[in-house]
Amino acid sequence: MSDGDPILEARSLAVRYPDQRGPLGGVRSWRRAVDDVSFVVPRGQTLALVGESGCGKSSTGRAILGLQPQASGELLFRPAGADGGRDLLKLPPSGWKAVRRRIALVFQDSGSALNPRLKVWQSVAEPLQIHRLASGAGLRRRVDELLERVGLDPASGERYPDQFSGGQRQRIGIARALGTEPELVVCDEIVSALDVLVQRQVLELLSGLQRERGLSYLFICHDLAVVSGFAQRTAVMKGGRLAEQGPTAEMFSAPKQEYTRCLLDAVPLI
Amino acid sequence: MAEESLLEIRGLELRAGEEVLVDGVDLDLPRGGSLGLLGQSGSGKTLTALAVLGLLPPGVRRVAGTIRFDGVELSALDEAGLRPFRGGRIALVFQEAMSAFNPVLKLGRQVAEVLELHRRQIDRRGRPPEVLRLFEEVGLKEPERVARSYPHELSGGMLQRCLIAMALAGEPELLIADEPTTALDVTVQARILELVAEIRRRRGLSLLWISHDLGVVARVCGRVAVMRGGRVLEQGEVEQVLRQPAHPYTRELMAAAPRLERSG
């Protein structure tokens, strides 16, 4: 399987939420957060999912991780070595453990997602233990490698999350995600809260990991300037639907939709 | 002196214990002017702004320097002396609009409180119409509905507008804004930046804008001071600094600033 084959393909994905409930708690009406969304994440590349708050981009990301029970359509995941794709929306609960090893999630405030009472190395070790990938001295060695790979001193693993800056905590989140050797990483607004210089460094880290390990990213982000120069492809969402998608540089030079143009014009450039 | 400074900071030094957080900062903001304080987290930009109103967090103290506003040495005033300035002649707008409001009071009531405190000439009956006028001034479409709403009932962008309305209620001469648009969507941010520029023109308001985003500073400010490690590395007209950055750090920030790479 080569670069560019889709590792993930969404076909007419829809996600709905209960909108109004009846007196006995039954759902009276539904609200569609995601409606008829189709896209492809090419293997070894990045698809950016951009749009404003409430456009459905995070609901889409959650559906991929099986966190969105009311999702319909198809979500075909094709890990290396598997014949054909597996539809994540039809996966039985017992099938998720194997898939979750291959799809990792990093989100905006990974810092607050870390258990504050665990030393950082213990947090990074957790997924490795859950999937029985390492134990004993091998476990610690693996954690040290991961911390080092994301640019942190392995000795700092002895410290607690609150002793790290926002950028460093995001690196810890990435180290934790990398442990199970995922093929697809869903990144939900992971650089939005960071200063520009730290943002650049985290993006460079992600690009480096992509080149080195052939990682694929679904990169959810509201900031078009971040996406530019980072994601090979971009899909713009508005009101739960796809407004436009295509190669990033091409779309940003000649947006087909008025809405994309409007988003681009709003970016404060120097 | 060509222009009268509205705000003049000289040799400001702030410490927490022995740690120097702000180290010899000099800043000038002419009346009607706009100054961007640009820096990353930990650069001392927010502490410098908080020092203006004597609102330093516990444990941080000013060990040297003076802060003058319209000829008054703010740094020599006590709490009572600072009261007419805080939220009155000098208003402050923060990033997190949600945490700036009291969650259990309706927004109209909260803006009216500022009028009660700083605009004594407006009597009780005059306050509600003035609140609605302020909400209209910041571009809120249904001022009556907004006045009756609680903070959690509004979107981030609307709440940020309410916060600006509350800041304007005291008829300030200086508006200090600390990253007020960082948490907003780009399109909402662009509209808020336009609003601030428009209010400045209309009211002749002076602006001290704190941000880590050079693109945002370039949109709203005439002058910029670049901060790192508690010091001002360079300051000047935004256009001048962008054309010929004097400090390597400024060049680094420019390289990291938002850009849109387009093909062809």
Q: Are A107 and A180 in contact (CB under 8 A)?
A: no
Tokens of A35: 């409606």
CA distance A64 to B234: 47
**A31 vs B137, residue with greater confidence:** B137
Q: What percent of chain B has pLDDT over 70?
A: 98
Q: What is the mean pLDDT of residues A137-141?
A: 94
Check CB contact of B129 with chain A, cutoff 8 Å.
Answer: no
CA distance B171 to B90: 9
**A114 vs B28, residue with greater confidence:** B28
Q: Are B221 and B36 in contact (CB under 8 A)?
A: yes
Q: What percent of chain A has pLDDT over 90?
A: 63
Instruction: Quote the Cα angle for A171-A174-A178, to 5°.
Output: 140
Q: B34-38 and B206-211: which strand pairing?
A: parallel
| Cβ contact, residue pair B218, A268, below 8 Å | yes
Sign of CA dihedral B117, B119, B125, B126: negative
- Among candidates B193, B254, B263 on the partner chain, residue whose Cβ is nearest the Cβ of A250: B263
Residue B25 confidence (pLDDT) above 90? yes
CA distance A227 to B56: 37
Residue A76, phi then psi, degrees to nearest 5: -90, 120
User: CA distances (Å), A62 to each of A10, A35, A41, A217, A218, in order?
Assistant: 13, 14, 15, 14, 11
**B55 vs B262, residue with greater confidence:** B55
State residue B221's pLDDT score: 95
Q: What is the mean pLDDT of residues B218-234?
A: 95
CA A195 to chain centre: 20
CA distance B56 to B242: 31
Beta partners for A106?
A: A187
Sign of CA dihedral A81, A85, A91, A96: positive
| DSSP H stretches of helix in chain A | 57-64, 96-102, 110-113, 120-130, 136-149, 166-178, 196-213, 224-227, 248-253, 258-265
| HSE toward the beta carbon, residue A158, CA cutoff 13 A | 1
State residue B1's pLDDT score: 45
Residue whose entry in the numeric block shows the structure tokens 């997190």: B96
Q: Are B44 and B25 in contact (CB under 8 A)?
A: yes
Q: Number of helices and strands (H, E) in chain A?
A: 10, 10
Q: Are A131 and A170 in contact (CB under 8 A)?
A: no
Residue B100 confidence (pLDDT) above 80? yes
Does residue A127 sit within a domain?
no
Q: Which residues of chain B make contact with A199, given a CB cutoff of 8 A?
A: 256
Q: Which residues of chain A make contact with B260, given a CB cutoff of 8 A?
A: 224-225, 228, 252, 264, 267, 269
Residue A4 confidence (pLDDT) above 70? no
State residue A81's pLDDT score: 74
Does residue A21 sit within a domain?
yes
Does residue A200 sit within a domain?
yes
Does residue A33 sit within a domain?
yes
State residue B99's pLDDT score: 82
Beta partners for A186?
A: A105, A218
> For all residues of chain A together, what is the average pLDDT?
90
10 Å CB burial of residue A250 (0-12, 13-18, 19+) is middle
User: CATH class for domain B90-171?
Assistant: alpha beta
State residue B95's pLDDT score: 78
Q: Which CATH number do you get for residue A28?
A: 3.40.50.300
> For all residues of chain B together, what is the average pLDDT?
92
CA distance B79 to B86: 10
Q: What is the C-alpha R_g of chain B?
A: 19
Residue A35 confidence (pLDDT) above 70? yes
Residue A85, phi then psi, degrees to nearest 5: -110, 160
Q: Model confidence over A56-65: pLDDT tens digits? A: 998 999 999 8
Does residue A52 sit within a domain?
yes
Residue B20 confidence (pLDDT) above 80? yes
Check CB contact of B104 with chain A, cutoff 8 Å.
Answer: no
Does residue A143 sit within a domain?
no
State residue B75's pLDDT score: 94
Q: What is the mean pLDDT of residues A163-185?
A: 92
Q: Model confidence over A202-230: pLDDT tens digits? A: 999 999 999 999 999 999 998 898 999 89
State residue B183's pLDDT score: 75
Band (B173; pLDDT cuts 50, 70, 90): very high
Containing structural domain, residue A36: 6-110+186-265
Does residue A14 sit within a domain?
yes
CA distance B111 to B213: 29
| Cβ contact, residue pair A252, B260, below 8 Å | yes
Q: What is the mean pLDDT of residues A258-264?
A: 93
Total tally of structural domains belonging to chain A: 1
State residue A18's pLDDT score: 81
DSSP-assigned letter for residue A88: G
SS3 of A50-63: ECCCCCCHHHHHHH
Q: What is the mean pLDDT of residues B214-235?
A: 94
Does residue A129 sit within a domain?
no
Check CB contact of B263 with chain A, cutoff 8 Å.
Answer: yes
Residue B22 confidence (pLDDT) above 50? yes
| Residue in chain A nearest B219 by alpha carbon | A268
State residue B98's pLDDT score: 80
CA distance B85 to chain A (A): 31
State residue A181's pLDDT score: 93
Residue A261 confidence (pLDDT) above 90? yes
User: CA distances (Å), B124 to each of A87, B116, B128, B260, in order?
Assistant: 64, 8, 8, 51
Band (A1; pLDDT cuts 50, 70, 90): low
Q: What is the mean pLDDT of residues B77-93?
A: 93
Q: Could you state, in order of their start, the residue ranges of all structural domains in chain B?
A: 90-171
Give the mutation candidate from B211, B249, B260 for the A interface (greatest A CB count, under 10 A).
B260
SS3 content of chain A, % helix, strand, coil (to 5): 40, 30, 35
Q: What is the C-alpha R_g of chain A?
A: 19
Residue whose entry in the numeric block shows the structure tokens 């009155």: B88
| Cβ contact, residue pair A226, B188, below 8 Å | no
Q: Model confidence over B177-211: pLDDT tens digits? A: 998 887 788 888 898 999 999 999 999 999 999 99
Across A138-151, b (16+ Cβ under 10 Å) vs e yields ebeebbbebbebbb
